[in-house]
Amino acid sequence: MFKLSKKIQSLPPYLFVEIDKAKRKARSEGRDIIDLGVGDPDQPTPRHIIEALYQAVQDAANHRYALDQGMPALRQAIADWYKKRFNVKLDPATEILPLIGSKEGIAHFPLAFLNPGDYSLIPDPCYPPYKGGTILAGGNLHLMPLLEDNAFLPDLKKIPAGIRKKARLLYVNYPNNPTSATAENDFYRKVADFAVKNKTIVISDLAYSEMAYDGYRPASFLETEGSKDIGIEFHSLSKTYNMTGWRIGWACGSAGLIAALAKVKSNIDSGIFSAVQLAGIAALSGPQEHVEQMRRIYQERRDALVGGLNSLGFNVNPPKATFYVWIKVPKNNDAMKFSALLLEKTDIVVTPGVGFGKYGQGYIRMALTVPKERIQEAIVRLKKIL
């Protein structure tokens, strides 16, 4: 009866919705599902953060509309955290914008800068909102393949000159979802130089910076000299503090880019629930011991999964960061078919790499978001069919 807009029709199916449907169907049949699909931490939010929320909701003043720009105390906590973690100085008043989760900010940002005919330079495979946000803003996509032989980094030299002239946005995401690849400061220097030369805005998604192992410490794009002139970085409390459902994150960087995103958001939402903002302050400013504990848990799971897969004939390198393992499927099988086979024959849910983009074909992603014992059980089940 009603026809969808062309923009909505051009959006691909959101991968995790489709996976959730398959999981629900399998569980409704009474099957024992091991879910290595969606990256949603299984550990609880630290108690002191929950307590801060509990205290905040007792105050009726926190139930009113929040400030669009976020509480000054939250912006200061974010600035303090960035200075301590990356030695990056941010102005809380102009260079930080709290978000209802980093996903919404990433998806809304293209609305501030893309006009018809403009391009976004998007890594492929990638977190789906990079593409969705561009499509909804009326922009065009230019895909930058993330290939194993280039350490899953985009080759900026291969972007055609005609595309460079029309490119307004360049997305980077390291530590990377879904490949779990990492990037160092020399890569960010090349990105910044490219952006300056081509008058392109850099969008850095740093959601997984604290999920790193074996002593590795991921870098921030904002550590690069001159980056605040051409870049904006998105971060989140979701993974670091096990707060995925709380929906709180932030953008930081260029004051001009922050102001533009703030203008978009002022026409769309009314800010983060104030009690959640106060809990966010507690997360950033309070005890951090659980972050190291989280790393140890995921590293144990990583080692169990990678070791188990390699014992079955896979060739998987242990990732230095994220809670994902990016795995080439056996015998170059189709990723969708292989994922369906695993669900059908082993009751294991994984994410087909092609769901993140065409260059994810031939790979699957497994998440370390189940206990080690369930990962070991998954290896036992896989052994029966491989």
Average pLDDT of 205-224? 98
Given a contact cutoff of 8 angstroms between Cβ atoms, the answer to whether 322 and 177 are in contact is yes
Structure tokens at 100: 């209802």
- Size of the chain, expressed as the number of residues it contains: 386
Level-2 CATH architecture, domain 47-285: 3-Layer(aba) Sandwich (3.40)
Alpha carbon distance, N-terminus to C-terminus of the chain: 48
Average pLDDT of 80-98? 98
This prediction's pTM: 0.95
List the Cα angle 288/202/115 in 5-degree steps.
130
Is the pLDDT at 215 greater than 80? The verdict is yes
Percent of the chain with pLDDT over 70: 99
List the Cα angle 7/198/227 in 5-degree steps.
95
How many whole angstroms separate alpha carbon 217 and alpha carbon 99? 25
Is the pLDDT at 58 greater than 90? The verdict is yes
Cα torsion 217, 102, 171, 88: sign: negative
Is the pLDDT at 20 greater than 90? The verdict is no
Span 258-307, pLDDT tens digits: 999 999 999 999 999 999 999 999 999 999 999 999 999 999 999 999 99
Span 226-253, pLDDT tens digits: 999 999 999 999 999 999 999 999 999 9
How many whole angstroms separate alpha carbon 301 and alpha carbon 375? 7
Q: How high is the pLDDT of residue 28?
A: 87
- Residue 317 Cα distances to 43, 180, 324, 325, 374, angstroms: 25, 10, 12, 9, 20
List the Cα angle 262/241/91 in 5-degree steps.
35
SS3 per residue for 206-264: CCCCCCECCCCCCCCHHHCCCHHHHEEEEEECCCCCCCHHHCCEEEEECHHHHHHHHHH
Span 331-384, pLDDT tens digits: 767 888 999 899 999 999 999 999 999 999 999 999 999 999 999 999 999 998
Q: How high is the pLDDT of residue 22?
A: 79
CB hemisphere CA count around 273 (13 angstroms):
14
> What letter does residue 142 receive in the DSSP assignment?
E
Is the pLDDT at 19 greater than 80? The verdict is no
How many whole angstroms separate alpha carbon 197 and alpha carbon 379? 49
How many whole angstroms separate alpha carbon 360 and alpha carbon 383? 24
CB-based contacts of 224, cutoff 8 Å, min separation 6: 185, 188, 189, 191, 192
Span 305-316, pLDDT tens digits: 999 999 999 999
How many whole angstroms separate alpha carbon 114 and alpha carbon 136? 10
Is the pLDDT at 21 greater than 90? The verdict is no
pLDDT class of 1 with cuts at 50, 70, 90 = confident
Span 101-139, pLDDT tens digits: 999 999 999 999 999 999 999 999 999 999 999 999 999
Is the pLDDT at 15 greater than 90? The verdict is no
- Say which residue the tokens 């307004």 belong to: 168
Span 200-213, pLDDT tens digits: 999 999 999 999 99
Average pLDDT of 313-331? 95
CATH topology agreement for domains 6-44+289-385 and 47-285: no
CB-based contacts of 340, cutoff 8 Å, min separation 6: none
Q: Is 65 exposed, middle or buried (0-12, 13-18, 19+ CB in 10 A)?
A: exposed
Level-2 CATH architecture, domain 6-44+289-385: Alpha-Beta Complex (3.90)
Helices (H), the chain: 6-10, 15-28, 47-57, 72-86, 102-108, 129-136, 161-166, 185-198, 227-230, 255-266, 274-285, 289-311, 335-346, 372-385
User: Per DSSP, what are the bridge partners of residue 325?
Assistant: 366
Average pLDDT of 165-192? 98
Could you tell me the residue ranges of all domains in the chain? 6-44+289-385, 47-285
pLDDT class of 174 with cuts at 50, 70, 90 = very high
How many whole angstroms separate alpha carbon 267 and alpha carbon 293? 40
Q: How high is the pLDDT of residue 386?
A: 79
Closest CA to 110 of 96, 126, 129: 129
